[in-house]
Structure 1
Amino acid sequence: MQVTYDFSQQTVIVTGGARGIGRAIAASFVASGADVWIWDVEPVELAGAQSVTVDVTKRDKIASGLALLEGRSVDVLVNDAGHLGRYQPFESLEPAEWQQILQVNLVGMLEVTHQILPLMRAAGKGRIVNMGSLAGKEGLPDLAVYSAASAGVIAFTKALSREVNDTGIRVNCVAPGPIDTRVIRDLGNETVDAMVAASPLSRLGDPVEVAALVLWLCSDASAFNTGAVFDMSGGRARY
């Protein structure tokens, strides 16, 4: 059964919406009538959505992206921009590599939220969904820095939700396990097969399934949820 939502008259920003999970989320919001703005370093062609080149680690680029809204409020922010990095032991990574992972996954999320949150507070309402990862809950070998960045996303979500609980702003996190995206496929067949073997459901997740959870979190049906972490791991998450 397909569940539909009405996000007409709402402005939605999705960072990292060029590919994979972010694109599925953006497309689902478009189908639900939202005014969707995709922020990514890559150009995006998605009918019904506005594409803006934004590096989420650069404050001036974020400000320029916001200026295009011409004073409109932001009803929904989905922080999806991410960088997995190489699937390698920590000591084999150069500092520049793990710094980039932290900058995109954690600092970029902070930078974007820091500029959009005041707009939501002024409006007295809004939805923020931060995309974390199963890695941030459990710590995955050969993805140590990505795990650390994702754990930071989870902790920030919980803390921020408590700072704004006197408003209509809700802040939640989605922590996917392996999802069938190019980023995961690029890890190679052997790694993907191991991920599938470790899944109780014996498959990768579908980006559309993740998008469905995000839309629910941003809908009125989820008004009582804030500061929560929602797994999308096919049963792999242990807590």
Structure 2
Amino acid sequence: MIYKNRFAGKTAVITGGASGLGLASGQRIAEEGGNVFLWDMDGEGLEKAQKKIPSAHIKQIDITDPQAVEKAAAQAAEKTGVIDVLINSAGITGATGPVQEFPIDSWRKVMQINLDGTFYCCRAIIPHMLKNGYGRIINIASVAGKEGNPNASAYSASKAGVIGLTKSLGKELAQTGITANCVTPATFESPILDQLPQSQVDYMRSKIPMGRLGTAEENANIVCFIASEECSFTTAATFDTSGGRTTY
């Protein structure tokens, strides 16, 4: 359901905006009157995303580079005057396998993108929100960050870190007009699944009581509520979209 003008006058920066949940959230915000910046490493994907959101501002960016993130945040704020919403959706799964065999390079890359990149984006954009006394930060974590998935130690640990970062950040900003919350999805249909062997996808589906994968659109419904003015008295929280999997 589209809410007319829910994001009118609002500007959102979305990482991982070329596909999946980032793109789905961007489409909703744009359809509801918002101004959208899509950040992603995938230049070709961004060009395709722009065709779906013609009004979007796209930028190919490596969020593991804090200087590049600072520059992009300043450019976005200069272009629109304010940044109201930050959705940190960029992420990778990394390798699969037991810890004793897990590739160190893959561990580092997962941490750099999933956790460090989220931190860099928050760090760069919060000052712009503070100037306006308003903001909505939504970090995309995972049920794996709560429960852990076997043979996915880097992904699970990075998403647990995102949850911890969000809880700390939400408390820091609680009296500023800025909220910080995270979404903890179970597995949902997304290009990120292409990074995993089918056996891992099947395992994760088997853990979902509803017996199916979620969709990017279902997750975008929650994201856009948290990103709106309506979600005004919840911060430092996790919103589960797990089909019944999450136990706490």
- TM > 0.5 between the two? yes
1:22 maps to 2:29: no
2:68 to 35, 54, 61: 61
CA distance in 1: counterparts of 2:239 and 2:13, whole angstroms = 20
Q: Which moved more, 1:46-55 or 1:76-85?
A: 46-55
2:78 aligned with 1:79: no
Is the 8 Å Cα contact of residues 185 and 192 (structure 1) preserved in structure 2?
Answer: no
Rounded Cα–Cα distance in structure 2 between residues aligned with 1:131 and 1:186: 18
Percent identical across equivalent pairs? 37
Match of 1:100 in 2: 109
CA distance in 1, matches of 2:220, 2:149: 24
**SS of match in other structure, 2:230:** helix
Amino acid in structure 2 at the alignment position of 1:51: I
The Cα of 1:9 is off from its aligned counterpart by 1.0
- 3-state SS of paired residue (1:221): coil
C-alpha distance in 2, partners of 1:165/1:186?
37
Matches of 1:191 and 1:96, distance apart in 2: 20
* 1:3-62 C-alpha deviation (Å, 9 max, x unpaired): 525201111000011111111111111111111001111121322211101111112211
- Which residues of structure 1 form unaligned runs of 5+? none
1:212 to 210, 221, 225: 221
Q: How many residues align?
A: 238
What's the offset of the Cα at 1:192? 2.7
Q: Distance in 2 between matches of 1:141 and 1:223?
A: 36
2:35 counterpart residue number: 35
- The residue correspondences of 1:149-168 to structure 2 (distance < 5 A) are 149-168=158-177
1:49 maps to what in 2?
56
| Contact preservation (8 Å) 2:12, 2:83 | yes
Answer with 226-235 or 188-197: which moved more: 188-197
- Matches of 1:41 and 1:234 in 2, distance apart? 30
User: What is the alpha-carbon root mean square deviation over aligned residues?
Assistant: 1.4
Return the letter of the residue paired with 2:220. Answer: A
Partner letter of residue 100 of structure 2? E
What is the SS of the residue equivalent to 2:63?
Answer: coil
In the alignment, the residues of structure 2 paired with residue 55 and residue 218 of structure 1 have an alpha-carbon distance, to the nearest angstrom, of 23
Matched, 1:178 2:187: yes
User: Residues of 2 paired with 1:193 and 1:142: CA distance?
Assistant: 13
- Report what 1:138 is aligned to: 147
1:231 maps to what in 2?
240
Rounded Cα–Cα distance in structure 1 between residues aligned with 2:101 and 2:189: 26
Match of 2:133 among 110, 124, 146: 124
SS in 2 for 1:128: strand
Distance of 1:65 and 1:177 partners within structure 2: 31
What residue ranges of structure 2 are gaps of 5+ in the alignment? none
Runs of 4+ residues over 6 Å off in structure 1: none
Q: TM-score by structure 2 length?
A: 0.91
Give the 3-state SS of the residue equivalent to 1:220 in structure 2: coil
Say yes or no: does 1:147 pair with 2:151: no
